Amino acid sequence: MPRGQSMLTPRNTTRCPKRKISLATLLSGLAALSVILTITIQLIASYQSKKRALFDTTLTLNHSNAMKMSLTMDSLFKSMRSSLQYTAGIMADNRLMNEASRYEYLELMRKSSNYFNSIVAVDETGIVRTTAPQTVGTTGTPLTTDASKEALSLRKSYTSKPYISASGRLIMFMSEPLFDKDGLYRGMIAGTIYLQENNIIHTIFGSNNMDELGTYFFVVSSDGSLLYHPDKSRIGENVSRNQVVGKTMQGLNGSEQVVSTRGVALLAGYSTVQENNWGIVVVSPIEKVYEQLNRDTRLMLIYMLPPFLLLMLSAIWLARKLARPFVSLADLVSKIGKEKVDLPVPQSHWNREADLLTRTIMLAVADIQKRADQLTQAAVTDPLTGLMNRRTMEDAMNGWIAEQAPFSIIVTDLDKFKSINDTYGHQAGDEVLKHLAAIMKQLVPVVDICCRYGGEEFVILLAGTTVTDAFIVAERIRLTMEKSHEPLGKPVTLSLGIAHYPSHALSAESLFLQADQALYEAKKRGRNQTVIARSYEVSAELNQTESRG
């Protein structure tokens, strides 16, 4: 039984902190998840509801505006028709009215109503008898356009389709026949409307601008050509391929979502003018509706954030209070092997298990870090000379080549080093190696890398240098070593080979091979000299310059 109790007790004590931490995490997670889900569902539902409401409201308003405008235009054209009919009656009853009287009457009618830009009286033969204003200059000339000839031949009320006149204007006209008291046809009265110039229609429908939400309207003729549009360059363009324009051409009214002939998604309301079969379309870009919808959604989200944040902060505070010691330990352990870890002073925790675990891990981390420091130092340095080792050299070369950063490599070899070992012993040879390493450390900038490659062979990596710079450094090392009598009491010479990335090679292996071949060439030439890979002429010139200096 005591044995069973001893096994049971640690099992309970080790599970308690896990259960507490898991519960805190679970509670904070559930609280956050429930709030997030609630807000998400509410936002989605509200977004979809407002989207539908905005779309419906926009479609309804656009249709209502299109209907109002079509009724306005319909009433306007009926008034214009009535005005022409009244004038035709006056002119028919006073057939013997002289030219001056007819002109004064037509001019009075034109100026008083601003319905028409010009009014003409045409006899039954198609000759223009009177024109108001006279500046039009058509008096006494025959009718030339197909529409005017058709109106004269029909002998009834007529409204032409918009067309481009000889003067380049977009115009249309309305006409009424003239019958005398005996019922004989005496010609017609025609009022001309310049659709893009000053008149009552242009005043009402020509000042067409977008509002702050991008809503605008346009007017199309019975054949689908644009008569009024905010973009003046599109006047006269045929847009009958537009779905709602096609419906106005069929005399329909309504509202719907549509894509324009230029690929823009729109919410359109449309209506047909009964008097002239024109169509009026009021549109709002869906993009603008979405912008308004997104603004409303952001505003709602702002109102919802404070209580959400308060709840989240409360849950996070409780969870962090429970998990703080374990998070600290996990953070500490995660840094091992990545960086130098400064062990904090162990603190007593209110949680027994956290306190015990903290002290145990602190001791373990201290021991691991000590061993890691020793291994790291041993892994990157040469134990005899204190220089970087071959692995460090290879890592540096590969890193610089990956970054495409130019650099030079100097491969150095002690001349007749075997005879030094044979004559003076290996201990003396080691002293020579350490002496050369000391000279390298002294003459090579600290930002560059000096390595012992193996045996009596050394490598120097000079970042961002040219071949000439590397040659100067190599010669300084060679001459300093030659002039020094330490530690053997006589000079020890060097042979050096230089290569440059990317001038001589594009890979670490090839670059080292180039420098090593240059070193071999220096040995072949008699040792105690520096040779640049594949540039022996330059090397010779620099050697001569150095010797003269």
Catalytic residue positions? Answer: 456
Contacts of 162 (CB under 8 A, 6+ apart): 170, 171, 172, 195, 221, 225, 227
- 3-state class (DSSP) for residue 442: helix
Residue that is written with structure tokens 């644009």 in the block: 226
CA distance 136 to 521: 103
Q: Which residues in 154-264 belong to E strands, given as ranges?
A: 158-159, 163-164, 170-179, 185-194, 216-220, 226-228, 254-259
Please name the helix (run of DSSP H) or strand (run of DSSP E) that holds residue 129, with its range, or none.
Answer: strand 128-132
Nearest of 202, 240, 204 to residue 221 by alpha carbon:
240
Single-letter residue type at 371: R
Please name the helix (run of DSSP H) or strand (run of DSSP E) that holds residue 532, with its range, or none.
Answer: strand 530-532
CA distance 281 to 270: 4
CB neighbours of residue 196 within 10 Å: 15
Contacts of 121 (CB under 8 A, 6+ apart): 91, 102, 106, 128, 129, 130, 131, 178, 187, 188, 189
Starting at the edge strand that comes first in sequence, how are the strands of the sheet with 457-463 ordered? 449-454, 457-463, 407-414, 494-501, 530-532
Provide the terminal-to-terminal Cα distance of the chain, rounded to the nearest Å: 94
Give the number of residues written for the chain: 549
> Alpha helices of 96-175 — where are they, by DSSP H?
99-113, 146-154
| SS3 letters across 394-416 | HHHHHHHHHCCCCEEEEEEEECC
Tell me the DSSP string of 265-285.
EEEEEEEE-TTT--EEEEEEE
Nearest of 201, 175, 205, 200 to residue 112 by alpha carbon:
200
